[in-house]
Amino acid sequence: MSKIIVVTGTSRGIGKAIVDELMELDPNVVVYGVARTEAALKQLATEYNGRFFYVAGDISQKSVQEELVSRIKKQHGYCDGLVANAGVLEPVAPVEEYDQEQWLTHFNINFFSIVSLVSQLLPQIEAARGNIVFVSSGASVKHYYGWSCYGAAKAALNSYAQALACEKPSIRSIAVAPGVVDTQMQVDIRDKFGPRSMTAESLKRFTDLQEQGQLLPPDVPGAVYAALVFKGIPKELNGAYIRLNDPRLAES
């Protein structure tokens, strides 16, 4: 039976790479994706004819989550795993510029929508004894100037991954920081958020990595996330937060 995997934020970057890597892992795997950009989703559906299905929309909207879940139920009736990848970085600003609406929007996308989607997919993923993989961030355990919102939401996500593993013994969960990856988010840091809202010192790390050609191509984390959700999270890492280069992932 084909494995059914849900991936969020599949139009570009790490999310798209996860889809590509999953498709390569197994000729029978089926992926359900969600993103705001329909054109990119259509392209994936064409490329992976019959193996990629999607809902176009904002994952933080309940209606989008419900449509995704109901499509899976109707078309396949089961689900083996989820990679919660969709996420945004903004607002990037020091705490004294706290804007409640911006923070709520951020948490809706980066945290609450994930909690909501997981609770809706759990019955199927539990039945399949499947895997739930969260794209976290090094920012979840460090401070970056102006990243108080993003960092806190990722810290909440790590905590949630742990609670999920403890509460639901028939599934495994893991939160994985992807490293600094060559995606639009990094472009935005260098060109937009950084100059506007970060200190020169805090921005330098990111511009240095890019200048030295050390940004990770998206298929590097993509392959790790794909392997975790498809082959399974190692028992010893169930509920953990790890970085991409954790030696315990060696066999994945």
Partner 1 sequence: MVGKVIIVTGVSRGIGRSIVETIFKLAPETVVYGIARSEAPLKELKEIYGDKFFYVVGDITDESKLQQLTDDAIAGHGKIDSVVANAGVLEPVARIHDADISNWKKLYDINFFSIVSLVKTTLPYVSKANGNYVFVSSDASTMYFSNWGAYGSSKAALNHLALTIANEEKAIKCLAVAPGIVDTSMQVNIRENVGANMSKEHHEMFKDLKASNKLLHSNVPATVYSKLALNGIPEAINGTYISFDAPELKDYQM
Q: Which residue in 7, 122, 133, 237 binds partner 1 (CB under 8 A)?
A: 122
Q: By rule CB under 8 A, what count of residues binds partner 1?
A: 41
Buried b (16+ CB within 10 A) or exposed e, 116-132: bbbebbbebbeebebbb
Other C-beta atoms within 10 Å of 199: how many? 12
Work out how close the CB of 251 gets to partner 1 at its nearest, in angstroms, rounded to a whole number: 26
Q: Which of 154, 173, 225, 241 is catalytic?
A: 154
Work out how close the CB of 209 gets to partner 1 at its nearest, in angstroms, rounded to a whole number: 20
Our answer to whether residue 74 is catalytic in this structure is no
Q: Quick check: 14 and 181 in contact, CB under 8 A? A: yes
187 vs 200 by CB, closer to partner 1: 200
Q: Which of 32, 54, 144, 150 is catalytic?
A: 150
User: Which residue reads 């980066």 in tokens?
Assistant: 110
- Our finding on whether 28 is near partner 1 (CB under 8 A) is no
Other C-beta atoms within 10 Å of 61: how many? 12
**Which parts of 163-192 interact with partner 1 (CB under 8 A)?**
163-164, 166-168
Our answer to whether residue 78 is catalytic in this structure is no
User: How far apart (Å, rounded) are the C-alpha atoms in residues 158 and 154?
Assistant: 6
- Our finding on whether 201 is near partner 1 (CB under 8 A) is no
Q: Which residue in 27, 39, 96, 247 binds partner 1 (CB under 8 A)?
A: 96
143 vs 192 by CB, closer to partner 1: 143
Region binding partner 1 by CB under 8 A among candidate stretches 29-37, 42-50, 152-160, 206-214? 152-160
Q: Which residue in 28, 98, 129, 204 binds partner 1 (CB under 8 A)?
A: 98
What is the distance between the terminal CA atoms of the chain, rounded to a whole angstrom? 22
Work out how close the CB of 241 gets to partner 1 at its nearest, in angstroms, rounded to a whole number: 10
The CA distances from residue 127 to 29, 89, 118, in Å, are 18, 34, 14
3-state secondary structure of 31: strand
Our answer to whether residue 136 is catalytic in this structure is yes
In one-letter notation, the amino acid at residue 16 is K
Question: Of 219, 153, 230, which is closest to residue 14 (Cα–Cα)?
Answer: 219
Burial class (CB in 10 A: 0-12, 13-18, 19+), 201: exposed
37 vs 98 by CB, closer to partner 1: 98
**Contact residues: partner 1, CB under 8 A:** 94-98, 100, 103-104, 107, 111-112, 115-116, 118-119, 122-123, 140, 142-148, 151-160, 162-164, 166-168
Residues involved in catalysis? 136, 150, 154
